């Protein structure tokens, strides 16, 4: 009996090194070029200007983490917004080739306004679920999947850390409460105006807060060689791009700046610097309380990116890395109602369509545009949609993912309510359904609340926050 016990002890002790080895974190990262052909229309504005110049390449940047039992995939794409069906096709390809469940894959757009979209031709803002993917959509799907395959091939023993730093210098709420209400394209009076102009005497104060925190996850090889940095800032974009130019905006500049600060040039596999968009629906880089400064093209975005990268780098140097953390993910589909015209809006549409002078607006210079947008929404969009809500766990860090442009105050609420020690939110993740004002901001009006700019029920923001809290708690309980 004593000899048998000794054998059992030896067997157990012999297995322990193997178990410990399985606890080692693995990580891999990659770039995949998704720059479109010139001549494709730019997204991010009312008009679709054809592209005629590439200032910097667009990428799908991938980071894969594996803790021995769970694999997480995070892909940040240089695009204004991608529809769910594009992401779903890429996830299906990855699951088929690598066996990684699609529920474990987070994909999100940066929201650069200097890239083409990946909508079907003629279907911008339209409903195209169930239709075959075409052209650039198929290119993006394949290149995302290829990038994840390369990141998977790059998996190696790694260590990880995360941190954050407040950088309030570049984030300003673009929605301002006005002394006198302003008329919108629907003939209604808004208490709030987006981008009211510099030092506008009718502008009282910003209509909401900002989130100044830059959160980041740093991944290194065991030797200390930088593999990737995934950052998150609630800044819409910076801009300052000439007409027709393709650019990844400050999101791309941040990655290049981090590569330089970490002295990670010309290494193999390449270092991957990623900047994701947070809850920036009402946040941009313009302080409307002050006079505007003039910048040459691309200068301001590089200035912002370099400043953010330098401040992240200072925090990076203080980090304590771990060779193992528990990973987790919870993904659900949340059903939301699509907003529809009410009787007042039907009367508005009749008035606009019956105007005698087609060049003179009844209410607003953009009213004809919104008549067409509302007609498309009414004709094509279903009464309800199911959106992907996702919560990731990296040790005691929580990452929320929502397929909307979410307001900063909602992002702050997620951070406050989260059961994790640290939390940040990635917007425009796993799909893109437009702006997501809070119920309180809906009451104030303004561009982001207008029908077709916002497409879902006015209580959707709170429903999503509640669902995220449920998913995060499930991550902790498992």
What pLDDT was estimated at residue 18? 35
Is the confidence at residue 15, as pLDDT, over 60? no
Is 197 a member of any domain? no
What pLDDT was estimated at residue 42? 87
What pLDDT was estimated at residue 8? 37
Is the confidence at residue 68, as pLDDT, over 90? yes
Of 353, 380, 407, which marks where a domain is finished? 380
What is the mean predicted confidence (pLDDT) over 157-177?
98
Is the confidence at residue 373, as pLDDT, over 90? yes
Global confidence as pTM = 0.93
Q: How confident is the model at residue 5 (pLDDT cuts 50, 70, 90)?
A: very low
In the block, residue with structure tokens 């850390």: 161
66 with 150, same domain: the answer is yes
- ∠ CA(382), CA(384), CA(386), 5° rounding? 115
B/e letters for 14-32, b = 16+ CB within 10 Å, e = fewer, are eeeeeeeeeebbbbbbbbb
B/e letters for 392-407, b = 16+ CB within 10 Å, e = fewer, are bbbbebbbbbbbbbbb
365 with 218, same domain: the answer is no
Nearest CA to 222 out of 64, 26, 61 is that of 26
Is 5 a member of any domain? no
Check residue 270 and report its DSSP letter.
P
What is the number of domains present in the chain?
2
Q: How confident is the model at residue 44 (pLDDT cuts 50, 70, 90)?
A: low
325 with 388, same domain: the answer is yes
301 with 349, same domain: the answer is no
Q: How confident is the model at residue 13 (pLDDT cuts 50, 70, 90)?
A: very low
428 with 374, same domain: the answer is no
Give per-residue pLDDT as tens, 317-329.
999 999 999 999 9
In the predicted model, what is the mean pLDDT of the chain?
93
285 with 413, same domain: the answer is yes
Higher pLDDT, 121 or 362: 362
Of 380, 410, 433, which marks where a domain is finished? 380
291/376 Cα distance (integer angstroms): 39
State which residues form the domain around 349: 339-380
113/123 Cα distance (integer angstroms): 18
Is 96 a member of any domain? yes
Antiparallel, parallel or unpaired: β 156-166 and 26-33: antiparallel
Contacts of 355 (CB under 8 A, 6+ apart): 361, 362
252/306 Cα distance (integer angstroms): 11
142 with 269, same domain: the answer is yes
What pLDDT was estimated at residue 208? 98
354 with 216, same domain: the answer is no
387 with 251, same domain: the answer is yes
Number of other CB atoms surrounding residue 11 within 10 Å: 10
226 with 350, same domain: the answer is no
Least confident of 45-54, 108-117, 289-298, 448-457: 45-54
419 with 318, same domain: the answer is yes
E strand or H helix at 92, and its extent? helix 84-98
Give per-residue pLDDT as tens, 330-343.
999 999 999 999 99
B/e letters for 191-223, b = 16+ CB within 10 Å, e = fewer, are bbbbebeeeeeebeebbbebbbbbbbbbbbeee
Is 235 a member of any domain? yes
Nearest CA to 213 out of 255, 272, 171, 274 is that of 171
What pLDDT was estimated at residue 195? 97
Output the six-digit token pair for 452. Answer: 């077709």
Antiparallel, parallel or unpaired: β 283-284 and 172-173: antiparallel
The string of DSSP letters for 179-231 reads EEEEE-TTSPEEEEEES--TT-TTEEEESS----EEEEEEEEETTS-EEEEEE
What pLDDT was estimated at residue 104? 98
111 with 28, same domain: the answer is yes
Least confident of 122-126, 185-189, 288-292, 365-369: 122-126
270/253 Cα distance (integer angstroms): 16
Of 322, 352, 380, which marks where a domain is finished? 380
Is the confidence at residue 7, as pLDDT, over 60? no
Is 198 a member of any domain? no
Check residue 429 and report its DSSP letter.
B
Give per-residue pLDDT as tens, 82-126.
999 999 999 999 999 999 999 999 999 999 999 988 776 666 667
Give per-residue pLDDT as tens, 130-155.
788 888 999 999 999 999 999 999 99
């Amino acid at each position: 009996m004593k000899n048998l016990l000794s054998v059992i002890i030896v067997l157990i002790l012999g297995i322990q090194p193997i178990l410990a080895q399985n606890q080692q974190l693995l990580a891999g990262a990659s770039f995949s070029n998704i720059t479109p052909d010139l001549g494709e229309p730019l997204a991010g504005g009312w008009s679709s200007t054809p592209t005629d110049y590439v200032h910097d390449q667009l990428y799908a940047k991938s980071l894969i983490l594996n803790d021995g039992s769970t694999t997480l995939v995070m892909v940040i794409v240089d695009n204004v917004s991608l529809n769910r069906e594009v992401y779903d096709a890429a996830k299906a390809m990855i699951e088929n080739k690598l066996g990684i469940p699609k529920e474990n894959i987070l994909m999100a757009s940066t929201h650069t306004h200097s890239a083409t979209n990946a909508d079907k031709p003629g279907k911008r803002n339209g409903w195209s679920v169930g239709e075959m993917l075409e052209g650039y959509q198929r290119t993006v799907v394949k290149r995302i999947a290829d990038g994840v395959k390369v990141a998977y091939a790059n998996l190696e023993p790694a260590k990880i850390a995360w941190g954050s730093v407040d950088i309030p210098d570049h984030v300003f709420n673009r929605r301002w409460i006005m002394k006198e209400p302003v008329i919108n394209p629907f003939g209604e009076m808004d208490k709030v105006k987006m981008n009211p102009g510099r030092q506008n005497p009718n502008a009282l104060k910003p209509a909401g807060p900002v989130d100044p925190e830059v959160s980041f996850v740093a991944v290194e090889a065991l030797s200390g060689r930088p593999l990737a940095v995934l950052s998150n800032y609630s800044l819409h974009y910076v801009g300052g791009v000439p007409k027709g130019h393709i650019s990844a905006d400050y999101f791309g500049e941040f990655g290049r700046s981090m590569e330089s600060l970490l002295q990670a040039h010309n290494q193999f596999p390449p270092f991957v610097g990623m900047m994701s968009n947070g809850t920036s629906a009402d946040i941009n880089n313009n302080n409307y309380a002050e006079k505007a400064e003039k910048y040459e093209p691309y200068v301001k975005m590089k200035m912002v990116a370099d400043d953010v990268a330098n401040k992240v780098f200072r925090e990076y140097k203080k980090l304590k890395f771990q060779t193992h953390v528990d990973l987790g993910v919870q993904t659900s589909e949340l059903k939301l109602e699509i907003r529809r015209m009410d009787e007042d809006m039907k009367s508005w549409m009749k008035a606009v369509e019956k105007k005698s002078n087609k060049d003179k607006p009844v209410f607003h210079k953009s009213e004809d545009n919104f008549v067409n947008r509302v007609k498309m929404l009414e004709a094509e969009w279903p009464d309800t949609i199911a959106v992907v809500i996702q919560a990731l766990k990296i040790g005691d860090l929580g990452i929320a993912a929502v397929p909307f442009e979410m307001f900063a105050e909602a992002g702050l609420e997620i951070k406050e309510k989260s059961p994790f020690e640290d939390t940040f939110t990635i917007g425009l993740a796993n799909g893109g359904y437009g702006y997501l004002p809070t119920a309180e901001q809906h009451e104030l009006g303004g561009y982001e609340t207008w029908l077709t700019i916002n497409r879902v029920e006015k209580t959707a923001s709170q429903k999503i926050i509640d669902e995220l809290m449920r998913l995060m708690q499930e991550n902790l309980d498992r």
